[in-house]
Structure formats: structure tokens, C-alpha cells
Chains A and B, each alone.
Chain A
Amino acid sequence: MQIAAETLLNGLMLGALYALFGLGLSLSVGVMRMINIAHGDLIVVGAYLTSAVMSGAGAGAFTALLVVIPMMFALGWLLQVTLLNRVVGRDPLAPLLLTFGLSIVLQNVLQEMFSADTRSLQAGDLAGLGFSVAGVSIGVLPLLSALASVALLGATHWLVGHTHFGCQARAVSDDPGTARLVGVNDRRFFAIVTGVIFSTIGVAAVLYALRTPFSPTAGPERLLYSFEAVVLGGLGNIWGTLFGGLVIGVAQLFGAKIASGLGPFFGHLVFLVALLARPQGLFGKAAS
């Protein structure tokens, strides 16, 4: 019973991180109607970037974020302006293939720059801290990262629902043509959205790299977990993405209890079964 409670709790905390992975994807699906295949690789890029900033400036992981977030924003803005704006909206498959090429390029560039060895970020004093509630032990670092993920998802939800930026985002998402008529420059707006997406990727990257060692080829799996969280929750629904992430996280950790190597397999399996039961996602509207 205690083990089950611990697995559930750890699964929920892992799932919150997956939801944060999915947040950027959820935004790009919602606003630009595109899936960025390089999403997972960009999380890994963010992790290496943080690692470089930390060793370069001798700073801690959270201090490094102050540099990493603006850098990721700039990277996203630049990528959208130079490349993605040329294919977005043309045919849904063009951005897919373009970002697929980008994903292969990023993996190999990382491999050339940092070798294929795994790395990890030093969490400092936080790493070993933990406490226990009713016999269930909880790590401070996973708990903090889960809380940060939920807070960031909440902030984004508020941003989309209550600000001028969110209003523009919803307008462009509903009908780019009409949005242009009322003065929203969709291409310039997309660049800002991608900047925001990359900023969330930066935060996700640091929280991920503090928990798990990473390597240049770790990206595709991050993409799949993000994707599952987004589709499972229902497209364009941020709280749905959180729920989807939690389901995947819990499924993975209970799966790993059944057979140690099969954790991610059970995550995928739950995704497929949920897909058969509710193709539109758990919180999606009936028609896609």
C-alpha cells in the first residue's frame, strides 16, 4: 500500500513535468496548428545550454535560467522568422517534415559538440533533500519541479484567457485571415508565440535535467511524452495537457513496477487505449 502510494505520488510529480513538456506543444498546436517534431530535441538543447551557462558562469541551475530563458526566447523567435514562417499554414505536413529535418540536425550537432555521453545538472543541496508524510517519502526536488510545472501551466492558461496576447492568440487560432483584417500580423505574432514556447522549453529543460541524466539522443522520447500529454488531454486545452501528463507519468511508474524496462511502454499503451476510447482526448470537444 505504501509502495503504491509512493509510486502514485512520484508518477504525479513526473507527470507534471511531462505536462510542462507538453505545454509548448499544446501552444503551437493551438495557435499555429503545427506539431514541432524537434520539440523534444529543443528540450535537450535547453539542457545543454543550461549546463554550458552553469559551468561558464559558475552559477546554479535556477540562476542560469535567467540567462537561458531569454536565449531560448531569441532562438525561438529567430527560428520562426527565418524558417518556420515559410512553411506554416501552407500545408500541415510541411512544418512537420521541416521540423523533422531540424530534429535530426539538432541531435547530430549536439553529438558533435558534446559527444554521445550522458550529462546531468548538479542540483546542489536540493538533490538529496526529502521528507516523509505518513511513511511515504517525498523528494523535495521532484516536488518543487512539479509545483513549478503546475504554476507555469496555470500562468499560461491565465495568459491565454485574460490578456491581450491571449486574445490575439485565440483570434489567430480561430481564423488567421480575419485576425489579419483586424490588425493582427500573424507572422510577427507567431514569432512571439514561438519565443514564448521556447521559454517554456527552457524551464522544462532545466527541471528535466535536474532530475534525469540526458544525452543528445534523448529528444525523441521527450517529444513522444509531450505529444501523448497533449493528445490525451484534448488539443488546445492546457488543463487537459496537465491531466494527460499526469496519466502518462503515473502509467509509466506503475508499468516500471510490473517490469523494470517496460515503464515507457505502459505509458504508450495507456495512450493508445485512451485514444481508442476517446479519440478527441479526455477533455476534447466531440468534433475535432
Chain B
Amino acid sequence: MTAVTLSNANSKTTLVRISAGAGLLVVATLAVLIPWFSTFAVQRLLVEVFTLFAVALAWNLLAGYGGLVAIGLHVFVGVGAYSLFTLSNQLQLNPFLLLPAAAVFAAAFALVSAWPMFRLSGAYFAVGTWVLAEMMRILTLNSPWLGAGGGMPLEAMGDIDRWTRNAGVYWAALFVGVGSLVASRQVLRGALGLALMSVRDSEPAAMASGVPVARAKIALWVLCAVMAGLAGAVSYMNTLQVTPDASFSLNWTAAAIFIAVLGGIGTLEGPIVGTVVYFLLRETFAGYGAWYFIGVGLLAILTMVAAPGGAVSLIPEKWRLDPFRIRRRMAESDPDRSASFPTT
């Protein structure tokens, strides 16, 4: 992986990195301190922002890096939320302590579902995952022990006072949002990321050069399931009630797709830009009801036709930053490199 080293790593970039690090630290501190200087309404909105961002990031990772378009990604939102609610209510435990369990459930569900789902590819995989999500929705809808259509409340939250509850859910959401971003970056910079990008560019070539294609895709599937599952668990901790129609709802995936398409599929900056655009539009036009969705849908269609790379691609190449340092460039000074494929 020596081919990745930047050709002009000089003192200027070091300075940029130090100031960027300091800036990041300030922003992170402010983000953590928000519950002390904001209203509950703001915190609730931010919980929505962070959880939807995590789902959009997961969708974008799958589509942009794994070539796996999952229209049924919301199945993990529901599985995460329901496993957290059920465990907390049955065991009478603090839901915050059960977040890791929700992640484990989502991961296990992803592993099992990979068995039938990975028989499909491309567009068939996309709709196949939707079938899976629909099955889970109908199943929970018809399970009296899960509260059936009415869903169930998060009973253990009743013992926690309002400030602590809101702040706790906010911090959990912050952790899920930022954690997903950091995890994605680490994965993409590592061996799995390299394998995924080679699969995305040419699956036969990747297979021929010894990339464990199936294993890389399943690993990504499980990672994204955990991200979406945690987002679902935290999101419904925010509303204190989970129902099948809301948690196993296509709206989750639809929003994630719009965010990824508007921001730019196959980049980490895309979902960040997309989430900002999505929530700006939503908060501005929320009063227009269905017209808002029509507008966002048309905007996404327009983006697909006119600028398939999303908002990020509208920035000219030379001004484009690579804040996550995940882009892999061929070292220009060494033409021989192009002949030797990097193998994982």
C-alpha cells in the first residue's frame, strides 16, 4: 500500500493538519456540551440528524463502495429498535446499556440474511432486501408479544428524569453518527476498503487478483447493518415508542437514498453535505406536507440525470478537498507502479 503515499507531504500540509485537528477538537467539545445550552427540541432534532446521517452513510457505503444497493436497508433500523426495546422491557434494564446488544442483534440478523440475499445481485439484490424488510414488518405487525400494530413503549425510560434522558439519547446519537463516520473512514483506509473499491471497479478483475469478494461484501453488509441498527435503536429511544409501520418503514431508506444521491454516492463527504441539504429543505418546507416529498424526489431525479455524482461532484476537481484521506492516488512520479497491482 505504498502507492497511497501523497507525493507532496511537506510542512504546509502538517500545519493544515494540526489546525484541522484543533478545529475538530473544538467542534467535538461543543457538540458534547450541547445539552447544557440548548432546548429539548433542538436536541431531538439533532438526534434525528445524527441517526438519519448514520443510516444514509450505511446506505452510501453499501451502494458506493460495495456495489450493493439495498432498498430494504430499513430492515436493520427496525431490528435494532425492536431488539433494544424488547430486551430492555423484558430484562428491566437501562436501555443505554443495551445499545451494544442491539448492535449484536443487527449484525446477527445481517449474517443470517446474507445467506438468501447474496444469491441476488445488482437490482435484484436491491428489491430482494426490500422483500426482507417487508417480511419483518408483517411479522412484527402480527406478533402480539411485540405489541403488534401498536408497538411498545420503552418502559425503563420512565425511571430516568427528563434532562438526563434527553441528554443521554443525544449523546448516544452523537456517538452513533460520529462513530459511524470514523468507522467508515477506518474501514475504507484499510484492507477491506481496498478490497471493496477493487470489487466496485471490476468484480472479475478483483476476483482474479485474489480479493476475497464474497467475504468483503458480507463484512460490509454486517458493518452497515450495525450502523443502521444502532441508528434505529437510538432514534426510537428518542420517541420512546416503536411501531412496525414506523421502524420498518421505507421512509428511512428513501431519506437515506435522497441524502446519498443529493450529496454524492461513493464519497464520505456526500452524506454529510446531503444530510445538511436534506434537513435544511425539510425544516424550510415541512409545512407543505406531501409537496415537500414531491420536491425532494424531483430534486433527486434531477440530480441523477444532470449530476450523477451529487453535490460533491459540482465542486471542480482541483478545489476538491479529501478531508477523510480515503482517496487512493497512483504516485505520479513512478510510472512503473501502474503495472503492479496492490494486493491485499
Task: Spell out A's residues near B (CB within 8 Å).
Answer: 34-35, 37, 83, 86-87, 90, 92-94, 96-98, 100-102, 104-105, 107-109, 111-112, 220-221, 223-224, 227-228, 231, 259, 261-262, 264-265, 268-269, 271-272, 275-276, 279, 288
Contacts and interface: CB of A to CB of B under 8 A. Distances in A.
Contacts of B296: 104
Given A98-B305, A265-B138, A272 B297 contact: no
A25 to B, nearest CB: 10
Contacts of A265: 135, 138-139, 142
A223 B127 contact: yes
B63 interface: yes
Contacts, number: 117
Nearest to A268: B135
Interface residues of B, number: 42
Contacts of B293: 104-105, 107-108
B163 interface: no
B125 to A, nearest CB: 10
A224 B297 contact: no
29 contacts: A34-B123, A35-B127, A87-B304, A92-B123, A93-B123, A93-B126, A96-B123, A97-B304, A98-B305, A100-B254, A100-B257, A102-B301, A108-B290, A108-B294, A108-B297, A109-B294, A112-B290, A112-B291, A112-B294, A220-B250, A223-B127, A224-B127, A231-B124, A262-B142, A268-B131, A272-B116, A275-B116, A276-B116, A288-B121
Interface in B126-159: 126-128, 130-132, 134-135, 138-139, 141-142
A92 B122 contact: yes
Contacts of B134: 221, 224, 264, 268
Given A87-B305, A268-B131, A276 B297 contact: no
Nearest to B141: A261
A86 B119 contact: no
Given A35-B123, A96-B126, A101-B300, 9 more contacts: A83-B305, A93-B67, A101-B258, A108-B293, A220-B130, A224-B127, A227-B127, A261-B138, A276-B116
Contacts of A90: 308
A92 B296 CA distance: 22
A173 to B, nearest CB: 15
B197 to A, nearest CB: 16
A195 B214 CA distance: 39
B272 interface: no
Contacts of B254: 100, 104
Interface string B46-84: 000000000000000001000101010000000000000
A81 B287 CA distance: 34
A284 to B, nearest CB: 11
Contacts of B257: 97, 100-101
